[in-house]
Structure 1
């Protein structure tokens, strides 16, 4: 097996093992918080917002570190610390101590702030440009297959073993990730001169601002994440206001199925040249599915179909968007560009959580309002791209 193929295999194992553990961990935590007898909305807002705020604070530093230090070592150290933290949580777990869950989740978010830009940047060190799109499509496909299994296993783990074993599974997944990262073979070493944090981040901001396509995509992604934060906030409450038992788990599965089908579609679309403005047509489809949820509350099957359509449209958008960045940005700028992107996107997640907690609209119409807002956003951005093309 060639070195590049070995790297693809290790990237897939690393990413999907980690994804598997995180899905079970997050599912158990959110379900436990949603059952809190007194402060469920407040605690859900705090759980979601603390994660986003931690990433917001440390993302820029993580991107700078990823560009000027050993990316492989960053991945290895952060995953080992995450494995230790979740294992300690497993040992001291107490279902009444929600604050411990929030604290560990915040620590994981800080580690992720260093891990994520290093991971996305190291792909350019491990793979050729022609292999990056192939890896992103395959990775998303396998990730969603894992996501189908994870909620089912989460149900089994929580019902048969209890919430604490979700922490143990996540700890083991971090260990597997660390082993794969240790075996990475660097094929394209990126050289970058040292720079102070302020100057390095300034260079990244200037780079993004000059690339108007990336700039507009970044602003749109930030606003879409604001809406997605509201959507994610209300999903754990769907069993309460829908009357359908376990609908939350079924929605997660439906979204995974939609993403699997979408990843297969991307394989066909990947042979065609699509401009960044064309990615938004897929988000429009997702917006219409969101709007449909406002009228589908009485049919569990229709709810699942619409959630699958929404997830599939976002999957296609994300694969094209991520591949575009990884192949078009200069290698020595990737860490900072990714950190700036996810920092800007993350700015709107806590705001979305707070707005969702404030309006407290626990019925299907909240998804319809989200859909209308995203639809207006998509048409506005398409108009901007049209003007940019004519100028």
Structure 2
């Protein structure tokens, strides 16, 4: 029997997986519907403020979300997250296009708060449902099907906005939360904390410090989190901003759709491949998989044909898919269950804290120094951070052994 069939035969895992894929589809519907609702009524500046409020609330509260995920039942925390986000979406339906601007800003903050609760609990919940022998395959299935779900949700969202309205599409988004909520309430995962949590802000801050301490005790994990921060700031966030601009200038508005679809295909293929990887050097696989990402800034700087750019997107995002599955599996395996919420919160902070700044400054920076110089810097940063982390023991295996025995020449 295949691994996927084995996973899906488990009713508890199946409920968790189906509920969360449905939620991803709903989120993608919302991403398409939100600009269609707000931009015509309030303009791009207000739309940007609402998105910034959501992002700021999420980043600022992620570590608190990790603490909460480690204190209480993770399925319950995710259910509360769904309720908070439903209230946020209902607020956008009611006030996104009319009324004082502060009302949709508050709704955006609620979406961010819900996301801060959801992300750490979701990643930390999976090991409670899947044993170590199937964890990597479960992460691969989760990553690939969510990417497919996001693409399907975007298509559904576009159709709903056209056939109904932006508000009608957001109502469907709310309905998907109901599916997720039902599965989470049925699961009733037990809390993992062995002792009663202290009360008050001081106790929560102490638990946050404990989570940071757990990461610092594993330098291989800390350095890869820092690697993610640097690469997001210098490579992935700027690429996210510049690809639609450059592709439209070269090939017209339809090009970005082809490039986005290629990235989705690559992520699905890479995630599926990662589920089959059997190696004691998961870190070597993960870092080498990131190498094709160097093609992304080069495609911005060099006028390659659209088909070649699409191939580069497939290769790069396939590598990212491999990295994500191996990395998440390593964190779920290495860290004790009772701190994983905080660990995944810190991982998300590393990836997202500086992303809004990078998105804002990337076009200005590229315009100032020129795309060729920008691309060269991005490639150098990618290569240096991808292979520089092997100087830290444990990176090659994505674990904390007594002696890695890393042969850096062989790694390169």
TM-score band, normalised by shorter chain: 0.7 to 0.9
Question: Over residues 236-283 of structure 1, what are the superposed CA-to-partner deviations in whole Å (9 max), with x where a residue is unaligned?
Answer: 5467534523333333322211112212221332x2233324412111
Q: Does the 8 Å CA contact 2:70/2:191 hold for their aligned counterparts?
A: no
For residues 96 and 12 of structure 1, the distance between their equivalents in structure 2, rounded to whole angstroms, comes to 38
Q: With structure 2 as the length reference, what TM-score do the two structures score?
A: 0.81
Picking from 343, 348, 354, the partner of 1:342 is 348
2:265 maps to what in 1?
A: 257
Q: Does the 8 Å CA contact 2:192/2:338 hold for their aligned counterparts?
A: no
Whether 1:245 aligns to 2:253 is yes
For residues 321 and 104 of structure 2, the distance between their equivalents in structure 1, rounded to whole angstroms, comes to 29
Question: Over residues 45-84 of structure 1, what are the superposed CA-to-partner deviations in whole Å (9 max), with x where a residue is unaligned?
Answer: 5455433321221111111111112322211122023123
For residues 163 and 69 of structure 1, the distance between their equivalents in structure 2, rounded to whole angstroms, comes to 36
1:291 maps to what in 2?
A: 298
Picking from 197, 206, 230, the partner of 2:204 is 197
Whether 1:324 aligns to 2:327 is no
For residues 382 and 243 of structure 2, the distance between their equivalents in structure 1, rounded to whole angstroms, comes to 22
- Structure 2, unmatched stretches of 5+, are 1-5, 394-403, 407-412
Counting matched residue pairs gives 385
How has the CA–CA distance of structure 1 residues 275 and 134 changed in structure 2, closer, same or farther, with 3 Å as cutoff? closer
Q: Does the 8 Å CA contact 1:17/1:177 hold for their aligned counterparts?
A: yes
Picking from 144, 147, 151, the partner of 2:147 is 144
Picking from 89, 92, 97, the partner of 2:92 is 89
2:276 maps to what in 1?
A: 268
Q: Does the 8 Å CA contact 1:284/1:375 hold for their aligned counterparts?
A: no
Whether 1:24 aligns to 2:32 is no
Question: Over residues 173-196 of structure 1, what are the superposed CA-to-partner deviations in whole Å (9 max), with x where a residue is unaligned?
Answer: 211111110111537955244241
Whether 1:222 aligns to 2:229 is yes
Picking from 9, 25, 39, the partner of 2:14 is 9
- Structure 1, unmatched stretches of 5+, are none
2:3 maps to what in 1?
A: none
1:174 maps to what in 2?
A: 177
2:309 maps to what in 1?
A: 303
How has the CA–CA distance of structure 1 residues 5 and 372 changed in structure 2, closer, same or farther, with 3 Å as cutoff? farther
Q: Does the 8 Å CA contact 2:211/2:343 hold for their aligned counterparts?
A: yes
Q: Does the 8 Å CA contact 2:42/2:97 hold for their aligned counterparts?
A: no
Instruction: Select the structure with the greater relative contact order (CA < 8 A; seq sep ≥ 6).
Output: 1
Q: With structure 1 as the length reference, what TM-score do the two structures score?
A: 0.85
